[in-house]
Amino acid sequence: MIRPRAKAAGLLSLGVAAVALFSGCDLNENADTDKGRDLFIAKCGECHYLSEAGTTGNLGPDLDAAFAASRNAGMDQDTIEGVVTDQISHPRQTDPADPSYMPPDLVTGQDADDVAAYVASVAGVPGIEPPTVPGGPGGQVFASNGCGSCHTLAIAGSAGAVGPNLDEELPGQSKAEIEESIVDPNKVIVQGFQPNVMPSNYSTTIDQQEIKDLVDFLYENSGKTPKQ
C-alpha cells in the first residue's frame, strides 16, 4: 500500500506528557485484542494509519509513527494503552466540520478497552505487518483492510453482519459491479442496510492493484465453501 504522509506530532506530544500519569498501570489485562483489531479497522482505520491493521487513513495521526517515537523514548505498553484510552475519551478539539474531527467516545466501555489494548500491542512495533492469510493477494487485501469485520465471507472465515453477506450478494455479479460496490458503496444499497456505513474512499486509500486483487478474490470465491 502507498503510505500517506505521517501526522504524528499531536499524539506524540500528548503521549510524552502522559507518561507520568499512566506509567506502570496494567489497565486492560482482560482486553480482547482480536476484537479490538476488528473494532479499530471498522471505527478508526479510515482516519489512522496502522501497519498491523492494514489501515491507511491519513486524516488523523499515523499511529505507528507516533508510538514508535514514544517507544524509543521509553514508553511501555501499559502507558500506551492509557494514552489511547484517553485519546478515545478526549480527542483533540476541532470543528466538527473539519475532516479530521474525531468524536469523543467513538467506542466505549469494554470496546474502548479492547481497542486501546490492541493499539498498544502493535503501534510502532518495528517491522510489524498485517497477519498473513490464505487466499492469495486478494485474500490478504480483504483481511488487511478488515472487510471481514463487517461482511460474512465463508472462504475468508469471516462472519461480520454490519454489511451484506457477500456469499449471498456477490455470486452472479460481474467484476465491474463488485468493484463499483467497493469504490462507490452508496450507489447501490442492499435492502435492509443503511448508506454511509462503508467508507467511500477506498479508491484512494487502497491502491489500484490491490483493488483489482480484491475484486478477483471476491469474484472467484464468494459463495464457495472452504475446503476441509
Q: The CATH number of the domain where 63 resides is what?
A: 1.10.760.10
Give the C-alpha separation, 228 to 187, whole Å: 37
Question: Do 67 and 161 reside in the same domain of the chain?
Answer: no
Q: In a 10 Å sphere around its CB, with 0-12 CB exposed, 13-18 middle and 19+ buried, how is residue 191 labelled? A: exposed
Q: What is the pTM of this model?
A: 0.64
Task: Indicate whether 227 belongs to any domain.
Answer: no
Task: Indicate whether 204 belongs to any domain.
Answer: yes
Number of domains making up the chain: 2
Question: Do 60 and 13 reside in the same domain of the chain?
Answer: yes
Give the start-end residues of each E strand in 82-181: 152-153, 158-159
Question: Do 25 and 117 reside in the same domain of the chain?
Answer: yes
Q: Give per-10-residue mean pLDDT for the chain (228 aa).
A: 41 42 54 90 84 81 92 92 93 80 90 96 91 87 84 90 94 97 95 89 89 97 86
Helix (H) or strand (E) holding 49: strand 49-50
Of residues 144, 161, 141, the one with CA closest to residue 218: 141
Question: Do 96 and 160 reside in the same domain of the chain?
Answer: no
Question: Do 113 and 21 reside in the same domain of the chain?
Answer: yes
Question: Do 141 and 50 reside in the same domain of the chain?
Answer: no
Question: Do 69 and 152 reside in the same domain of the chain?
Answer: no
Question: Do 217 and 169 reside in the same domain of the chain?
Answer: yes
In the block, residue with C-alpha cell 476541532: 94
CB under 8 Å to 82, separation ≥6 — which residues? 18, 21, 22, 25, 27, 116
Question: Do 33 and 70 reside in the same domain of the chain?
Answer: yes
Range of the domain at 58: 9-122
pLDDT of residue 130: 81
CB neighbourhood size of 223 (10 A): 16
